[in-house]
């Protein structure tokens, strides 16, 4: 520990901190533009100048290491004069366009100029003018406002791993740009908008939409993937205007993916706002009572074994639980499933479908093996953590398949399942890497779980890790990447019907054994309808609504309170930021009212009763599966196949994203991107 003084107050700090960090520990705020705690130190804005005893000049606190006995002063006339001088230089070329700048109201330069700026500029020469740059469909540029802090350059290079933004020219002629004047090819690209301390980089889809003080701000959870990134939803009336990241060091740090940020315009289009009934192939508007009457009649005239329910990817846990209770208690049916494909599932232990090493545990790993996954598209923020681990620890990464650019170097095998067999039999170089590593990560993706070899690889790998002591209370190397926000929560609630890991409900559905199919927000089911009567409940007119006979308009994730469990098993609550359009209702209320209409009895009297019942159910499930033994992995059928990675369209992966004009623009930008051959 080091002892030093900040404004004559003695403090103790850890070794290795900078003067700026020491001041923050002392509770003193230091103005800055170029410095950011997640990026390397540039030291080029000079706004963070402080006075240090025995130094003849002001010192840039972000780049100066704190040392024993230092006497730091931040509030002297000397410091104030130095900062005012820096601010005058920064404003010399800056345009006076705050009224038309989207950064207005949340601009660091605007705020700090109130403290350190002057009312008149002494600069009488012509101000520089810089043309707008092309950074794709998400980032609007006004580079005349740029103060050359280089945050965007450092983010692209260090965090995103796409060194496509850089500086050309020197001094006043310096310009920040993408080198080839084309879209930034990263799924994290729009984080540079948050990082920009001025209005040089702003959000293109959000341009001139609203001022920050006009918006209602709601802290909630993202559902575009299974990570559960912490976000803030800004809404105006029922319209969601933008989505911003919240800091959570255990999950998303302070980054979010472009899909999380910009798919929100899909909440405004293709919405279902009233019940519909299909007559002669055409949908007609109806009342809730009319659709409930038809559904009741259908259920009463059908055998319970001929009814099934399939849940969707973006459904909160309360709705899933009510849906299960509705099927079990109101209809007397057990045919309920959350998987829309035949992926392998072993639900005997909760660790069988979790990312057990935790997201922040990635930074501790010393070896990573991918089996059937492309984390860049399946879990963008998680992939950024892996890059961080590589930069920090030089973590060795091997993938069974060559999956293209992951933003960090890795070795790829030939994609054959025989490699996994050899590893588990200690006949492969990777075996030694696993055994010699203190904290290895084995990451299994959905492409593997959907393959013919899923059961063999899953059980063999897990048994091998147990045998070599890589699964323990201290560290669990066995990890599953879930693709969807609802996956882990639905498994925790028991929304599956599985035999030998296979999807029984889906098999019977493909064989057309059901008369009634209830789709709860399920839009990714590849199913050819025959004679089935299909009820669709959801928020958008997408694939599920297209094949439905009855449509029940539900709410999107921003329009209702609800719990989600992320891929590492962390229970998080999403909060209501807006409200459903028209006659649409919250999903759990629709099912609860339908149960009352059929059985003259509600399943739950209110949301609190529902939440308590659901949480008790989860606790019982966890206790039940805590002490189960490992299955026998010796007699598993082995089939050597070439594993293929299912690279589904990243930008159009769910119903909200498919309704988003911005996501469509991103897809077009990706298609039109011209490779230079220098990407690595």
Q: Among 130-144, 447-461, 638-652, which stretch is predicted with the lowest mean pLDDT? A: 638-652
Helices (H), 517-606: 543-546, 587-599
Instruction: Please report the pLDDT score of residue 631 as a whole number.
Output: 58
- Which residues of 298-416 form beta strands (DSSP E)? 307-311, 336-337, 367-371, 396-399, 411-412
| Three-state secondary-structure class, residue 120 | coil
pLDDT winner (highest mean) among 181-195, 622-636, 654-668? 654-668
Residue 239 β-bridge partners: 236
The whole-angstrom separation of Cα 652 and Cα 383 is 19
Q: Are strands 396-399 and 367-371 parallel, antiparallel or unpaired?
A: parallel
How far is Cα 147 from Cα 577, in angstroms, rounded to an integer?
A: 35
Per-residue model confidence (pLDDT) at position 347: 85
For 518-577, what is each residue's pLDDT tens digit? Answer: 999 999 998 888 899 999 999 999 999 999 999 999 999 999 999 999 999 999 999 999
Percent above pLDDT 70 for the chain: 97
Q: Tell me which of 163 and 387 has the higher pLDDT.
A: 387
**H/E segment holding residue 284:** strand 282-285
Residue 680 confidence class, pLDDT cut points 50, 70, 90? very low
Condensed to tens digits (0 to 9), the pLDDT of residues 597-616 reads 998 899 999 999 999 999 99
**Contact predicate 448/373, CB 8 Å:** yes
Q: Tell me: the pLDDT tens digits for 438-470? A: 999 999 999 999 999 999 999 999 999 999 999
Structure tokens given for 243 = 């989505």
pLDDT, mean of residues 257-262:
96
Residue 120 CA to residue 110 CA, distance in Å, equals 15
Lowest mean pLDDT among 21-35, 217-231, 545-559, 662-676: 662-676
Extended strands (E) in 374-452: 396-399, 411-412, 440-444
State phi, psi for 154 to the nearest 5 degrees.
Answer: -65, -35
CB-count exposure of residue 420 (10 Å: 0-12, 13-18, 19+): buried
B/e letters for 36-55, b = 16+ CB within 10 Å, e = fewer, are: beebeebebbbbbbbbbeee
Q: Which two tokens stand for residue 169?
A: 């020219």
Query: Beta-carbon neighbour count of residue 528 at 10 Å?
Result: 7
- Report the pLDDT value the prediction gives residue 153, as an integer from 0 to 100: 94
Q: How far apart are CA 349 and CA 17, in angstroms?
A: 43
Of 255, 32, 46, the C-alpha closest to 156 is 255
Q: Which of 203-207, 516-520, 645-649 has the lowest mean pLDDT?
A: 645-649
Give the Cα separation of 208 and 469 in Å (integer).
Answer: 57
Q: Averaged over 299-319, what is the pLDDT? A: 94
Q: CB–CB of 397/161 below 8 Å?
A: no
Mean pLDDT value across residues 581-591:
96
Tens of pLDDT along 38-48? 999 998 899 99
Residue 60 near residue 43 (C-beta atoms within 8 A): yes
Round to whole Å and give the CA distance between 274 and 584.
Answer: 6
Q: What is the mean pLDDT of the chain?
A: 91
Which two three-digit tokens encode residue 601? 């009895």
- The mean per-residue pLDDT over the stretch 377-396 comes to 94
- Residue 378 parent element (H or E): helix 375-378
pLDDT digit string, tens, across residues 282-294: 999 999 999 999 9
Residue 677 confidence (pLDDT): 47
Distances (CA, A) of 186 to 138, 178, 622: 11, 12, 38
In angstroms, the first-to-last Cα distance of the chain is 43
Token pair in block for residue 239:
């319209």
Pairwise CA distance, residues 677 & 89, whole Å:
40
Distance CA 135, CA 14 (A): 40
On whether the CB atoms of residues 424 and 461 are closer than 8 A, the answer is: yes
d(CA 447, CA 642): 12
Please tell me the distance from the alpha carbon of residue 329 to that of residue 435, in angstroms, as a whole number.
Answer: 49
Q: Kindly state the average pLDDT of the residues 277-286.
A: 93
- From CA 31, how far away is CA 193, in angstroms rounded? 19
Q: pLDDT of 49-82, one tens digit each?
A: 999 998 889 999 999 999 999 999 999 999 999 9
Q: Exposure string (b/e) for 239-257, b if CB count within 10 Å is 16 or more?
A: bbbbbbbbebeebbbbbbb
Q: Place 395 in a pLDDT band, splitting at 50, 70 and 90.
A: very high
CB 376 within 8 A of CB 187: yes
pLDDT score, position 126: 86
- The pLDDT, as a whole number, for residue 634 is 66
- Contact of 480 with 355, CB cutoff 8 Å: yes
Average pLDDT over residues 477-496: 94
Binned at pLDDT 50, 70 and 90, residue 678 comes out as very low
Res 65: pLDDT: 93
């Amino acid at each position: 520990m080091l002892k030093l003084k900040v404004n004559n107050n003695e403090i103790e700090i850890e070794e290795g901190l900078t003067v700026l960090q020491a001041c923050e520990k002392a509770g003193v705020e230091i103005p800055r533009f170029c410095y950011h705690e997640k990026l390397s130190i540039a030291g080029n804005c000079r706004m963070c100048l402080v006075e240090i005893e025995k130094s003849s000049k002001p010192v840039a606190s972000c780049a100066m290491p704190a040392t024993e006995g230092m006497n730091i002063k931040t509030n002297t006339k000397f410091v104030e004069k130095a900062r005012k001088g820096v601010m005058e230089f920064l404003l010399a070329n800056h345009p006076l366009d705050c009224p038309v700048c989207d950064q207005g109201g949340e601009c660091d330069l605007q705020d700090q100029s109130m403290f350190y700026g002057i009312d008149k500029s002494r600069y009488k020469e012509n101000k520089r003018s810089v043309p707008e740059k092309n950074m794709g469909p998400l980032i609007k540029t006004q580079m005349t406002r740029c103060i050359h802090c280089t945050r965007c350059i450092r983010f692209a290079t260090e965090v995103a791993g796409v060194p496509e933004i850089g500086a050309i020219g020197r001094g006043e002629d310096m310009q920040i740009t993408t080198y080839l004047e084309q879209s930034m090819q990263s799924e994290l690209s729009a984080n540079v908008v948050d990082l920009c301390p001025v209005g040089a980089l702003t959000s293109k889809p959000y341009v001139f939409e609203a001022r920050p003080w006009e918006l209602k701000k709601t802290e909630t959870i993202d559902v575009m993937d299974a990570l559960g990134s912490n976000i803030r939803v800004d809404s105006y009336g029922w319209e969601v205007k933008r989505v911003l990241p919240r800091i959570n060091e255990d999950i998303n740090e302070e980054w979010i993916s472009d899909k999380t940020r910009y798919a929100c315009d899909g909440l405004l289009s293709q919405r279902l706002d009233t019940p519909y009934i299909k007559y002669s192939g055409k949908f007609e508007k109806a009342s809730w009572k009319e659709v409930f009457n038809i559904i009741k009649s259908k259920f009463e005239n059908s055998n319970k074994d001929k009814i099934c329910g399939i849940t969707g990817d973006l459904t909160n846990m309360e709705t899933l639980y009510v849906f299960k209770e509705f099927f079990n208690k109101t209809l007397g049916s057990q045919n309920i499933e959350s998987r829309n494909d035949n992926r392998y599932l072993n639900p005997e232990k909760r660790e069988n479908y979790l990312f057990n090493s935790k997201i922040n545990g990635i930074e501790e790993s010393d070896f990573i093996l991918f089996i059937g996954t492309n984390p860049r598209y399946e879990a963008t923020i998680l992939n950024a953590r892996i890059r961080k681990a590589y930069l920090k620890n030089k973590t060795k990464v091997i993938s069974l398949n060559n999956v293209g650019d992951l933003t960090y170097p890795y070795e790829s095998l030939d994609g054959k399942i025989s490699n996994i067999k050899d590893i588990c039999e200690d006949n492969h170089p990777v075996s030694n890497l696993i055994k010699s590593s203190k904290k290895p990560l084995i990451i299994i993706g959905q492409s593997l779980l959907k393959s013919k070899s899923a059961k063999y690889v899953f059980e063999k790998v897990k048994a091998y890790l147990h045998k070599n002591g890589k699964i323990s209370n201290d560290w669990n190397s066995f990890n599953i990447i879930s693709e969807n926000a609802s996956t882990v929560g639905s498994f925790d609630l028991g929304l599956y019907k599985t035999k030998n890991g296979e999807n029984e409900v889906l098999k019977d559905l493909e064989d057309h054994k059901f008369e009634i199919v209830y789709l709860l927000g399920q839009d990714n089911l590849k199913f050819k309808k025959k004679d089935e009567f299909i009820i669709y409940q959801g928020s958008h007119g997408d694939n599920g609504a297209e094949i439905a006979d009855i449509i029940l308009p539900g709410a999107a994730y921003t329009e209702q309170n609800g719990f989600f469990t992320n891929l590492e098993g962390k229970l998080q609550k999403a909060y209501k930021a807006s409200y459903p359009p028209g006659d649409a209702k919250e999903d759990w209320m629709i099912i609860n009212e339908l149960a009352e209409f059929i059985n003259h009895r509600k399943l739950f009297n209110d949301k609190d009763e529902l939440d308590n019942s659901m949480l008790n159910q989860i606790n019982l499930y966890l206790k039940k599966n805590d002490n189960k033994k490992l299955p026998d992995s010796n007699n598993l059928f082995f089939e050597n196949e070439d594993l293929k990675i299912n690279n589904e369209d990243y930008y159009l992966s769910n119903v909200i994203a498919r309704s988003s004009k911005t996501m469509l623009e991103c897809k077009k930008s990706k298609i039109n991107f011209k490779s230079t051959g220098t990407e690595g």
